[in-house]
Amino acid sequence: MMSPEGQAFIVFCGGMLLLMGIGMNMALALVLTGAGMAWVLEFWDTQLLAQNLVGGVDSFALLAVPFFILAGELMNGGGISRRIIDMAQAWVGHIRGGLGYVAIGAAVLMAAMSGSALADTAALATILLPMMRQQGYPMATSAGLVASGGIIAPIIPPSMPFVIYGVTTNTSISALFVSGIVPGLIMGAGLILAWRWVLRDLDLPARPALPLAERLRATGRAFWALLMPLIIIGGMKSGVFTPTEAAVVAAVYALVIALFVHREMKVVELGGALARAGKTTAIVMFLCAGAQVASYMITLADLPGVLTGWLGPLVDHPRLLMAVMMVVLVLIGTALDLTPTILIFAPVMLPIAVKAGIDPVYFGLMFVLNGAIGLITPPVGTVLNVVAGVGRLPLHQVIKGVNPFLFTYTAILALFVLFPALVTAPLAWLR
């Protein structure tokens, strides 16, 4: 007869596949799966389930999530995002295929402000896709580039996925933030190379360069936007405030700039921004609450131990183990969004990685990077859907256009697996 732990494993895997297959809300699926595991483990207690639901969101560090979400809404509504894009266009917009380079540069700069792939992608797509369409850029490739630039946000600090990962696995959020700086810049450089390769087959005219004075004026108009990441990252690096406090600083800063400096947002519009931020926050927090129920039962059933037994022969070969786990996460990323992937699988996989001697911060960076790539991987591809919706394009065209950039990111992921020092060496120096 199968042991209770084996039954719990079947309930977890089978329950999640079944509930996802019928289209159930992910958070509710996690709660029901956790309840099913409690039943087969003969650990049924409604009070315990309720305590875990509350405990999943009862975290000071998770307060960073709503404030970073609000900061992203205020950035988009208050003209901060648009000024970043205008500055990038002033400096590189005249180059052949210049709007593509603008998209990449703006994506990197905006990633250092909001930490949200969806917020950054929506802002980039709203402003740049109409301009690209007007100037004769192929829309499928342009949409793929914008989507690919948007997923740099979860890697460069401040990053909401790093906050969620840190809380879920008890890993230093500040260390995770620092670990993402160099890989995020490498992702931007990879996109530049991929865009240059794509440009070979495109007949796009070069535009006249703007005078230096106009470029400097565009940079001056973006001054307050450029100051924002310096305040956030500098404050955390110097120890003036924690990542959670940095989120509050970001939201307040964006509010002040939007209302009193740029004056592109009116007080009456704050209600809409708060409502949108509240809805997004509710989705994320419900996921965290549901994941805590499932995570508690996963620990109780010792599923990490079961997985360790399966992967035991690879523990003595850290790079091979890392490669296998990355392949598994790539497959998971085709079906799950980034946040539930972190909440469900990070607590299971991290202990195995640590047992193999893999740096937990390095593993966290790789885990989030893999999940971010999943945001532009069909069939789910949340970011792809955002770009398709904003650009009014068929999803299959966006999927086709993202392929060169998806290949580039996969190559970067493999490079980090083969040469961990590309992540760990800059991390040690920056720390």
pLDDT in tens, 148-165: 999 999 999 989 999 999
pLDDT of amino acid 311:
74
pLDDT score recorded for residue 431: 66
Confidence (pLDDT) at 363:
97
Which pLDDT score, from 0 to 100, does residue 76 have? 85
Q: What is the pLDDT of residues 377-394, one digit of tens each?
A: 987 788 999 999 999 999
- How many structural domains comprise the chain? 1
Confidence band for 2, pLDDT divided at 50, 70 and 90: low
Considering the chain, what percentage of its residues have pLDDT values greater than 70?
98
* pLDDT above 80: residue 273: yes
**pLDDT average, residue stretch 78-100:** 91
| Cα 304 to Cα 229: distance, rounded to the nearest angstrom | 38
Q: Any idea which of 96-110, 210-224, 371-385 has the lowest mean pLDDT?
A: 371-385
Average pLDDT over residues 275-288: 90
With 0-12 CB in 10 A as exposed, 13-18 as middle and 19+ as buried, what is 360?
Answer: middle
Residue type, 196: R
Residues 119, 107: Cα–Cα separation, whole Å:
11
Output Rg (C-alpha) for the chain, integer angstroms: 22
Tell me what pLDDT residue 239 has.
82
pLDDT band at 376 (very low <50, low <70, confident <90, very high): very high
Say which residue, 424 or 24, is predicted with more confidence. Answer: 424
- Which residue from 96, 143, 98, 205 is spatially nearest to 405, judged by alpha carbons? 143
User: Is the pLDDT score of 296 beyond 70?
Assistant: yes
pLDDT exceeds 60 at position 56: yes
Residue 326 — pLDDT band, cuts 50, 70, 90? Answer: very high
pLDDT reading at 1 higher than 70: no
Provide the pLDDT for residue 173: 92
Mean pLDDT for the chain overall:
89
242-251 pLDDT, tens digit per residue, is 888 989 999 9
Residues whose CB falls within 8 Å of the CB of residue 420, separated by 6 or more in sequence, listed in order: 319, 322, 359, 362
The stretch 297-308 carries a mean pLDDT of 75
Whether the link from the prior residue into 379 is cis, omega within 30° of 0, is yes
How many CB atoms neighbour CB 317 within 10 A? 12
Residue 261: pLDDT over 60: yes
Question: What pLDDT shows up at residue 379?
Answer: 76
**Rounded Cα–Cα distance for residues 73 and 84 (Å):** 15
Q: Greater confidence, 429 or 329? A: 329
**What pLDDT does 262 receive?**
92
Burial of 276 (0-12, 13-18, 19+ CB in 10 A): middle
| pLDDT given for residue 204 in this prediction | 82
Of the two residues 315 and 245, the one the predictor is more confident about is 245
Please say if the pLDDT value at position 89 is more than 70: yes
CA distance 255 to 296: 38
* Residue-range definition of the domain harbouring residue 268: 4-430
Q: To which residue do tokens 């989030």 refer?
A: 368
**Residue 75 corresponds to which tokens in the numbers above?**
């950035």
